[in-house]
Amino acid sequence: MLLSVFLTVGRGTSSLLLVAIVLIVLALPVLAIGDPSSISIESVRVFQNIFALGDRLVVIEEKVMYTPDPPEWPEDAYTVGIYSEAVQKFSRPLSYYDHSASSIYVSPSENLTWEGPYSVKVYGNPSYFPPLTEGLNMKTMALSGGNWISGGESTSRIYLGVWVLALAEEFHTSWGIAMLTASGKLNAVAAAFFEEVIPGLQSVCPTIFEVASSYLPTDSTTFTKSYETDLLSRAGAHLTATLAGISGVTGIPVMLVGGILLGIMFFVLAGRIFTATGNPGLAIGVGLPFIFAGNIIGLLPLSITFIGIALVLVVFALTFVLGHVG
């Protein structure tokens, strides 16, 4: 009796679960997007040696036309791919509906054969478009000789820049939005768009942008201080022996002995001028030539002089500023 009750309850529970599952499935939205009014690949250009020797940059101009655009993101609904025969080799999501552009970067190690038998395809996500139909929700273009733009790094970057400016003209006409400045360069709107389409574009084609960023090149030259060494050699045997003797008596390094002597001469002269005129700027200006005279005769390294002058100027500037702030 108890067993029959459990079986009856079990059958009832299974029926309820089956009904619930059917209701949930019916309530789920069907993933579907209407076919575009038109779909086409307007142009394809394959550039080489853009970011690295042996790389490929495929720039695609496409049209996936809707009025209005569907609520689904284009990245979810469409894909741009490069095919070898029927096998997809590279792809990226579509960035925008309507008239737009995409790019696919292929590194040297990924081996996209130059002028190989490839095709470019723009196609809908099969989850949204069952089935995919050429010319309806999918478009394919076989690449030919005119699609491949060969050249070394500098030449290819020039060709890429020229092509981007040509595309900007196309989008200006298509969108009705200004894309170029009066000087024929990409304005702020175009710069933001093409930097998204081709990441890193400004680093390889800076001259096509109205405002471009650049970096000062670093200098890896090893400096030997040959001029300073030559000046120190002019001290002669007698002056060098004198400095060494003072160093031996006082325990002060030879290099500092000459600096101390020049410092004493500088402060005596500058102090005398300041006492007579009350002008610190004049005192420093007249005293500095004696320091440089010491460099010329080999009494003090030139680098130490510049460091000392810099410290004096900093102290003087701070004193001047603090004196006026109060």
Q: What is the pLDDT of residues 23-77, one digit of tens each?
A: 443 444 445 789 999 999 999 999 999 999 999 999 999 999 999 999 999 999 9
Residue 221, Cβ density class (10 Å: 0-12 exposed, 13-18 middle, ≥19 buried): exposed
pTM of the model: 0.59
Average pLDDT for 280-301: 69
DSSP H or E segment with residue 11: helix 2-27
In this structure, the answer to whether residues 35 and 145 fall within a common structural domain is: yes
In this structure, the answer to whether residues 186 and 173 fall within a common structural domain is: yes
Domain endpoint, select from 126, 150, 174: 150
Structural domain tally of the chain?
3
Q: What is the pLDDT of residues 92-120, one digit of tens each?
A: 999 999 999 999 999 999 989 999 999 99
In this structure, the answer to whether residues 165 and 114 fall within a common structural domain is: no
pLDDT at 306 over 80: no
pLDDT at 294 over 70: no
Collapsed DSSP state (helix, strand, coil) of residue 87:
strand
Torsion of CA 143, 147, 152, 156, to 10 degrees: -130
In this structure, the answer to whether residues 37 and 146 fall within a common structural domain is: yes
Band of residue 2 on the pLDDT scale cut at 50, 70, 90: very low
In this structure, the answer to whether residues 105 and 37 fall within a common structural domain is: yes
Report the 10 Å Cβ neighbour count for 111: 11
In this structure, the answer to whether residues 36 and 140 fall within a common structural domain is: yes
pLDDT value at position 238?
A: 67
In this structure, the answer to whether residues 163 and 89 fall within a common structural domain is: no
Q: How far apart are the first and last CA of the chain?
A: 104
Q: Is residue 255, in this structure, part of any structural domain at all?
A: yes
In this structure, the answer to whether residues 113 and 37 fall within a common structural domain is: yes
What residues contact residue 101 under an 8 Å CB cut-off, 6+ apart? 59, 60, 61, 62, 167, 171, 194, 197
Residue 145 carries which DSSP code? G
Q: Is residue 17, in this structure, part of any structural domain at all?
A: no
In this structure, the answer to whether residues 40 and 126 fall within a common structural domain is: yes
The domain that contains 96 carries what CATH number?
2.60.40
Answer for the pair 167, 101: CB distance below 8 angstroms, yes or no. Answer: yes
Percentage of residues in the chain having pLDDT higher than 70: 72
Locate 45 and state its tokens: 């250009």
Q: Is residue 8, in this structure, part of any structural domain at all?
A: no
Q: Is residue 135, in this structure, part of any structural domain at all?
A: yes
In this structure, the answer to whether residues 140 and 244 fall within a common structural domain is: no
Q: Is residue 35, in this structure, part of any structural domain at all?
A: yes
Domain endpoint, select from 188, 214, 240: 214
Tell me the residue range of the domain where 292 lies: 227-325
In this structure, the answer to whether residues 62 and 117 fall within a common structural domain is: yes
Scan for tokens 């070394």, then name that residue: 152
In this structure, the answer to whether residues 142 and 156 fall within a common structural domain is: no
Q: Give the C-alpha separation, 311 to 265, whole Å.
A: 18
Q: What is the pLDDT of residues 212-224, one digit of tens each?
A: 555 555 555 555 6
Ordered DSSP codes for 158-210: HHHHHHHHHHHHHHHHHH----B-TTSSB-HHHHHHHHHHSTTHHHH-GGGBS
